[in-house]
Amino acid sequence: MSMINIKINGVDYSVPSGITVLEACRYANIDIPTLCYLKDINEIGACRICLVEVKGARGMVASCVYPVNEGMEIQTNTPKIREIRKNNIELVLSAHEKKFLSCIRSTTCELQKLAQEYKCDEEKFVFSPKEHKEPIDDSSVSIIRDNNKCILCRRCVAACNKLQGIGAIGVVNRGFDSKVSPSFEVKLADTTCINCGQCIVACPVGALYERDDTKKILDAIADPDKHVAICCAPSVRATIGECFGYEPGTDVEGKMVSALKKLGFDGVYDMNFTADLTIMEEAYEFLGRVKNGGVLPMITSCSPGWVKYCEHYFPEMTENLSTCKSPQQMFGAIYKTYFAEKLGLDPSKIVFVSAIPCTAKKFEVTRDGQDVDGIPGVDIAVTTRELGRMIDQAGIDFKALEDEKFDQPIDIGSGAGAIFGATGGVMEAALRTAAEAIEGKPLEKLEFDDVRGTEGIKFAKYNLGGTELNVAVASGTANANKLLRGVQDGTYNVQFIEIMACPGGCVNGGGQPTQPATVRNTVDLKKLRASVLYKADSEKLEYRKSHENPIIKKVYEEYLGEPNSHIAHKLLHTHYVKRGK
């Protein structure tokens, strides 16, 4: 790496060549405020908040796009710079609906924070070119759009286009009439949006948020005639602490369980259990396809955003999808049948809730093929953010809670189930079970390191019992597109594929706690959050393979019989729709 010499605020620094002024300042531990900038995703210099002075340049420059060069002299914090930044923030505020106290992003809004730091007058520019309020688009079962709060930073557009390769939203019209919208201003529900929510976690303000279903839960808990149970996805325990001031990568499972019990749930359970159940069904489905000449490559189906993407963009490959329901849906189905019988519960009086990192799970609840004899498996899906708000609004002091354990009899999950929340985790979990089924003996090494890591696309080759198995893993649907195009044109020869809609997997899901650009640009959230799951697998949990989970064994012995049995298909498998574009 070649280095160049520059001055920042009169101090000499040596920084890598080829970087921007913004990056150079961060090398020097000098923070320049940004609003539209997201590293590698949205680097357009549109908001003009990151302006700095460069000696010899004509006027001020946007530091997020201006490259450094040898001998450059930069000023980042002069009175003139601060005054211009303040004016620019006030101009942004002029077209922004300023309901800060009631906004869902109050205290986590990046614009609000900048306005406070620069002591802005929010009424300095009171004009607005809009003659009427924009209607709120609440057509989607997952995502709400409020253009009255949009600041045209385009971060959501970049996330939808670059990370996901979808383009369900973009900037339409010109000048004062510019706004973010689907093409032809149709409703979001009428587009090919996959409900992934990456637009929400990219948004710096409250213009995008998930549909809030917490009132449904609280009403059910207050109903003495209802039995309300909740299961928690693996990655929620790795992230919900961020809602309460914990550093990313903190495991708060025990406090989370304690908080849920204080909210009044009749049962608090670990979704790692049905992650294990998914592996049993999926691994044996794969082995059956290999043995009986079924459709290959088989592709995992536990990410509902990915499933909807496949239905829209690769309808010809829906036959490649595993027919397994997701762990969320399997839990609801098995709870309202097998466990309802064990616990003496009337399934019609059970309200089953899932706590998930994913806005697409809200859509999944509404899909056909998810019920059992007309009774929905999961009634309500809530994101990590919603769960955090429920706990906060109930006056529960999260940090002061004593750790508690999940409720029996569904309190055991394996390490294989835990790593489901990270990209590559589903593949690794399936390989642990499939390999031992093929070879008929315990694995000497349980870690399948080649499918780990946060790269967008990963390939690996394994020899299992004399059979060569080629696998691939992709996260983010833009990467899924590249991978599947390669499969279709013969570039990639693989038999088993894991795809997750969100880059990095569920730990980076669209329902996870929002983090400001100052964190997203400098911290590898995917890696930190995933480390919680891998640590649970290697250090915390007694069982590390799905097929060794004693509750899983008992469910098959007493109820399901064997993986892919008739009753297992009835309860735990589903079908898909060829939607097309």
The tens digit of pLDDT for each residue in 201-240 reads: 999 999 999 999 999 999 999 999 999 999 999 999 999 9
The range of the structural domain enclosing residue 37 comes to 3-77
Burial label for 530, CB within 10 Å (0-12, 13-18, 19+), is buried
Task: Yes or no: say if 436 and 557 are a contact pair by the CB < 8 Å rule.
Answer: no
**Is residue 111, in this structure, part of any structural domain at all?**
no
**Pairing of the two strands 457-464 and 380-383:** unpaired
- Total tally of structural domains belonging to the chain: 3
581 residues of the chain, pLDDT tens digit each: 799 999 999 999 999 999 999 999 999 999 999 999 999 999 999 999 999 999 998 889 999 999 999 999 999 999 999 999 999 999 999 989 988 889 999 999 999 999 999 999 988 887 555 556 899 999 999 999 999 999 999 999 999 999 999 999 999 998 888 999 999 999 999 999 999 999 999 999 999 999 999 999 999 999 999 999 999 999 999 999 999 999 999 999 999 999 999 999 999 999 999 999 999 999 999 999 999 999 999 999 999 999 999 999 999 999 999 999 999 999 999 999 999 999 999 999 999 999 999 999 999 999 999 998 899 999 999 999 999 999 999 999 999 999 999 998 888 899 999 999 999 999 999 999 999 999 899 999 999 999 999 999 999 999 988 889 999 999 999 999 999 999 999 999 999 999 999 999 999 999 999 999 999 999 999 999 999 999 999 999 999 999 999 999 999 999 999 999 999 999 999 999 999 87
**Is residue 88, in this structure, part of any structural domain at all?**
no
Q: What is the CATH number of the domain that holds 250?
A: 3.40.50.1780
**Is residue 109, in this structure, part of any structural domain at all?**
no
**Is residue 556, in this structure, part of any structural domain at all?**
yes
Rounded to whole angstroms, the Cα distance separating 397 from 402 reads: 10
**Is residue 252, in this structure, part of any structural domain at all?**
yes
Tally of residues, the chain: 581
Q: Let me know whether 448 and 556 are in one domain.
A: yes
Q: Let me know whether 190 and 245 are in one domain.
A: no
Residue 43: per-residue pLDDT: 96
Q: Let me know whether 191 and 240 are in one domain.
A: no
**Is residue 540, in this structure, part of any structural domain at all?**
yes
**Is residue 121, in this structure, part of any structural domain at all?**
no
Q: What is the CATH number of the domain that holds 39?
A: 3.10.20.740
Q: Let me know whether 183 and 219 are in one domain.
A: no
Euclidean distance between the first and the last CA atom of the chain, given in angstroms as a whole number: 45
Q: Let me know whether 291 and 388 are in one domain.
A: yes
Q: Let me know whether 527 and 385 are in one domain.
A: yes
Cis status, amide bond into 409, omega within 30 of 0: yes
Task: For residue 510, give Cα distances in angstroms to 57, 108, 150, 305, 385.
Answer: 40, 16, 18, 10, 10
Q: Let me know whether 385 and 422 are in one domain.
A: yes
Encoded amino acid at 311, one letter: E
Q: Let me know whether 173 and 301 are in one domain.
A: no
Q: Let me know whether 259 and 140 are in one domain.
A: no
Which residues have C-beta within 8 Å of that of residue 355, sequence separation ≥ 6? 230, 231, 232, 233, 236, 260, 382, 383, 384, 387
Strand-pair partners of 462: 469
SS3 content of the chain, % helix, strand, coil (to 5): 40, 15, 45
Domain end residue (candidates: 153, 176, 209): 209
Phi and psi at 33, nearest 5°, equal -65, 145
Q: Let me know whether 293 and 418 are in one domain.
A: yes
Q: Let me know whether 456 and 527 are in one domain.
A: yes
Q: What is the CATH number of the domain that holds 131?
A: 3.30.70.20
Two structure tokens written together for 503: 């880059």
Q: Let me know whether 193 and 222 are in one domain.
A: no
